[in-house]
Amino acid sequence: MLRALAGSRLLVAVMAVADEIAEDGSDKSSHMAVVSMVNASGEKGLLAFTGLDSMAAWNPDARPVPVPARAAAEAALADGAQALVIDVAGPARLVLPAEVLSELMGAK
């Protein structure tokens, strides 16, 4: 599985985050950020998707950034995440813990 995933592309979700709100309620300034989730145990997982349909099922406002799976694994670990969560809204969710992400980064 790691070999197949190592050669694949994933879509990392990015969303606009408001930095300042104007008096009329509009965004005064904002930036784009990758999306992560925190589970009940406090573990952080970076979200990634196998296709536009699975990303839209999770959040139709998310913007896709295509990256190699290895780069998604590296980004998750660099962001302090304990996992990479693929297709969180289905159809088949896959959670890759940090140990597997390290293996993925070294897989050929």
What's the pTM value of the predicted model, to 2 decimals? 0.81
Domain made up of 2-106: CATH architecture = 3-Layer(aba) Sandwich (3.40)
Kindly report, residue by residue over 20-69, the tens digit of the pLDDT.
Answer: 666 777 666 555 678 889 999 999 999 999 999 999 999 998 999 999 99
Asked if residue 68 has a cis previous peptide bond (ω within 30° of 0), the answer is no
**CA-based nearest residue to 48, from 70, 25, 19, 78:** 70
The domain segmentation of the chain, as residue ranges, is 2-106
pLDDT digits (tens, 9 = 90+) for 77-92: 999 999 999 999 988 8
